[in-house]
C-alpha cells in the first residue's frame, strides 16, 4: 500500500525507515522532537537528503507505537496490522507534505487514507475525534 501511495504522490525511488516502538519510546521521541510529553500514535521526520553513494533520496523516518495500535485496533474493531498500516500511511503522507492541523486538512488526509485502504480491500474506520 505504501509503495502504491508513493507512486501516485511522489514517484521517484526513495528510502523510508519505519521504526516500530512501544509507548515509552514514542513518548520520549515526542517529548524530544515536539516538546509534548505524552505517547502518540505516529511521528514523521522529514529528511530529503540523497544517499552519497546511490543518489537515492531518503524521504524520512516514521516512528509508530505498536502499543497504541493494539489499543486503537481493539477500539475500532480492526486488525492490529491494519492499524499499524494506517499509522505508516499517515506518516508517509506527512513526509509527502500533507498536514492535519486544521479541520479541512485533517478531512483531506482522512479521505486520502481511506482511498488507499479501500483500494487494497482493507477495512477503514477513522473515527472523528
Question: Distance (Å, rounded) from C-alpha 70 to C-alpha 76?
Answer: 10
Give me the residue spans of the domains in the chain: 2-119
Phi, psi of 118 (to 5 degrees): -65, -40
Grid cell, residue 84, equals: 499499524
pLDDT digits (tens, 9 = 90+) for 30-44: 999 999 999 999 999
Q: Kindly state the percentage of the chain with pLDDT values over 70.
A: 96
Query: What is the average pLDDT value for the chain, to the nearest integer?
Result: 90
Kindly report the pTM of this predicted structure: 0.88
7 phi-psi bin (left φ>0, alpha ψ -120 to 50, beta other):
alpha
CATH domain 2-119 topology: Collagenase (Catalytic Domain) (3.40.390)
Dihedral angle sign, alpha carbons of residues 4, 34, 18, 65: negative
* Residues whose CB is less than 8 angstroms from the CB of residue 106 and which lie 6 or more positions away in sequence, other chains included: 100
Amino acid at each position: 500500500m505504501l509503495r502504491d501511495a508513493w507512486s501516485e504522490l511522489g514517484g521517484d525511488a526513495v528510502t523510508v525507515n519505519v521504526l516500530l516502538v512501544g509507548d515509552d519510546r514514542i513518548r520520549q521521541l515526542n517529548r524530544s522532537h515536539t516538546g509534548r510529553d505524552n505517547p502518540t500514535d505516529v511521528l514523521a521526520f522529514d529528511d530529503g537528503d540523497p544517499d552519497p553513494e546511490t543518489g537515492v533520496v531518503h524521504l524520512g523516518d516514521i516512528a509508530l507505537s505498536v502499543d497504541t495500535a493494539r489499543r486503537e485496533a481493539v477500539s475500532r474493531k480492526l486488525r492490529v496490522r491494519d492499524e499499524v498500516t494506517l499509522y505508516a500511511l499517515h506518516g508517509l503522507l506527512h513526509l509527502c507534505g500533507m498536514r492535519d492541523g486544521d479541520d479541512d486538512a485533517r478531512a483531506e488526509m482522512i479521505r486520502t487514507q481511506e482511498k488507499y485502504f479501500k483500494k487494497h480491500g482493507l477495512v477503514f474506520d477513522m473515527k472523528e475525534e
